[in-house]
Structure 1
Amino acid sequence: MAMHRNLPLPDAPSRNRPAPRLRWTRLASPAAFYPLAGRLAPWFFALALAWLAIGLWLGFAVAPTDAQQGEVYRIIFIHVPAAWMSMFIYVLMAGYSALALVLRTRVSSLMAQALAPTGAMFTFLALWTGALWGKPTWGTYWVWDARLTSELILLFLYLGYIALASAIEEPRRAERACAVLALVGVANIPIIYFSVQWWNTLHQGASVSLTAAPTMAATMLAGMLAMALACWMYTIAVALVRVRCLLRERGEIGAPAREAMP
């Protein structure tokens, strides 16, 4: 019996092993996030280029010509993914802003700020390509219908967010003000999405839906989804690079995972 008294308990090695939740929480620390972002960014850039090549090939070489609009319809392979990203990025910014206000994590605030310029770019691209598509389709570059107007408001929200972050010198105050603006402005996203159902607009209904079969050819859908994936990979890569720049600029590297915001 004495031989068995010194044997370790079966669960003894697991007592010193960090819980999975704690390992994930550690990524909220700038010191842990900074090197991880540096390792991941090149991979996301490479994925963005790969999906972009696939999407352009499917959209401009493989997809058939539209029976009604002809070749001009191919602008959807840029316009639609840009419009999707303009909304998705703002929702993501609002989510990071909520985390920053509730959990007081610095990386969440910086992620929201890093996403804002890319969201503004995609919103402008959606409006610009929509105008180019609207001229041959509707006979005009711009009409003040519900979807176009709400998308323009989204661009102003992005620009206002960026301007607010630059106008307030104290970083913590700027983060709180920007977080409030992002959470208030997110109410515009359902207005953009449901505008074609709530009001009489020139825009057609959604061609891609989670609850219904797509109303376009399979190659058209594949090209559009490939371009959307390219936009997502690019967004992630650029956001990671921007967060690293913000961390260096503010001297946050090595800061604790959670810092109280005033």
Structure 2
Amino acid sequence: MPNANLSPQTPGFFSRLWQGFLATVGTREFFRIFSPWVKWLAGIAIIMIAIGSIWGLGFAPPDYLQGNSYRIIFIHVPAASIALSIYFALAVLGVIFLVWRIKTANLVAQAIAPIGFMLCVLSLLTGSIWARPTWGTFWVWDARLTSMLILAFLYAGVMALFAAFEHTPNRGKAAAILSIVGAVNLPIIKYSVNWWNTLHQGTTLTITEAPKMSIDMLAPLLLMILGTYFMVGALAIYRTNTLILRRDQNKAWVKEYVRTSK
């Protein structure tokens, strides 16, 4: 005879965690939870970027070899590193969308792709400006530069696929697949200076090694990197919420939000 005192089996920790995650990734829940973050992230970003840029461009000491031309590093390094991070995020979001069919992941990917593209182009432009006094030319088909250019084309491809499939049932699938496949380029970009004999200098910052620059240069660079991350976070949420409102414009909660916001 079964024991009447036995209660139904409660779900495990990871099952409850997953269910809690699923309860927060709907478009309405995403909009409600993350909307207040935009102003705080943007405010922190503005403060960090302002301090980092003034410190780095105006008060950091000149480099003993490159003089003042190295100062473009305070723009180039944040743009390049975060362009890589955003594309990695695109690949992760692509997996989430294809495997679990979470539509919000697709909207976030659509929102951050143009941001990553602009940062990738900015890194190429600032790198070329930096290369002129350092290498004597604006461009060489160096492994790091070439793989970074390929990343810009991958970003452009993802954006084009989002636009092409915007009004079809397959919206986001092709972009997700390209994001995942294109992620193979990320380790090539990161380790190209180690795998091949390139003109591009080695990695400036690593977790496992001591910094290769003085604290007067390192501190403003870290401020610029962190500030840019915060700014990207604010832009990503703002752009995703805009896409959510457009996608769910006929739903009652959006109509109520628009009515109460007037």
- TM bracket (short chain): 0.7 to 0.9
Show the counterpart of 1:206.
203
Determine the C-alpha separation between the residues in 2 that align with 1:173 and 1:203: 40
Q: Mapping of 1:6-85 within 5 angstroms?
A: 21-85=18-82
Show the counterpart of 1:112.
109
Give aligned-pair identity as a percent. 43
What code does the residue aligned with 1:93 have? L
The reply on whether 1:244 has 2:253 as its aligned counterpart is no
Indicate which of 140, 143, 150 corresponds to 2:140: 143
Q: Secondary structure at the match of 1:238?
A: helix
Q: 174-183 or 57-66, which moves further after superposition?
A: 57-66
The answer to whether the Cα contact below 8 Å between 1:59 and 1:74 also exists between their aligned partners in 2 is: yes
Show the counterpart of 1:97.
94
Q: Compute the displacement of 1:254 (Å).
A: 6.2
Determine the C-alpha separation between the residues in 2 that align with 1:253 and 1:99: 26
Rate the CA distance shift 1:119–1:107 in 2: closer, same or farther, 3 A.
same
The answer to whether the Cα contact below 8 Å between 1:30 and 1:247 also exists between their aligned partners in 2 is: yes
Q: Compute the displacement of 1:171 (Å).
A: 4.6
Q: Compute the displacement of 1:194 (Å).
A: 0.6
Question: Over residues 195-238 of structure 1, what are the superposed CA-to-partner deviations in whole Å (9 max), with x where a residue is unaligned?
Answer: 11111110111121111111101121111111011111111111
Determine the C-alpha separation between the residues in 1 that align with 2:235 and 2:215: 30
What code does the residue aligned with 2:98 have? L
Determine the C-alpha separation between the residues in 2 that align with 1:149 and 1:174: 30
TM-score, structure 1 as length reference = 0.86
What code does the residue aligned with 2:68 have? E
Q: Secondary structure at the match of 2:90?
A: helix
The number of residues matched between the two structures is 240
The answer to whether the Cα contact below 8 Å between 2:38 and 2:238 also exists between their aligned partners in 1 is: yes
Rate the CA distance shift 1:168–1:20 in 2: closer, same or farther, 3 A.
closer
RMSD: 2.1
What code does the residue aligned with 1:103 have? W
Gaps spanning 5+ residues in structure 1: where? 1-18, 256-262
Determine the C-alpha separation between the residues in 1 that align with 2:88 and 2:249: 26
Work out which structure has the larger RCO, using CA pairs closer than 8 Å and 6 or more positions apart in sequence: 1
The answer to whether the Cα contact below 8 Å between 1:31 and 1:253 also exists between their aligned partners in 2 is: no
Q: Mapping of 1:224-235 within 5 angstroms?
A: 224-235=221-232
TM-score, structure 2 as length reference = 0.86
Question: Over residues 2-45 of structure 1, what are the superposed CA-to-partner deviations in whole Å (9 max), with x where a residue is unaligned?
Answer: xxxxxxxxxxxxxxxxx555433321111111122221111111
What code does the residue aligned with 1:80 have? V
The reply on whether 1:86 has 2:83 as its aligned counterpart is yes
Rate the CA distance shift 1:253–1:111 in 2: closer, same or farther, 3 A.
farther
Q: Compute the displacement of 1:169 (Å).
A: 3.9
Show the counterpart of 1:177.
174
Determine the C-alpha separation between the residues in 2 that align with 1:209 and 1:42: 31
The answer to whether the Cα contact below 8 Å between 1:247 and 1:253 also exists between their aligned partners in 2 is: no
Gaps spanning 5+ residues in structure 2: where? 1-15, 253-262
What code does the residue aligned with 1:243 have? T
Determine the C-alpha separation between the residues in 1 that align with 2:60 and 2:183: 35
Deviation above 3 Å: which 4+ runs of structure 1?
Answer: 19-24, 169-172, 252-255
The reply on whether 1:129 has 2:134 as its aligned counterpart is no
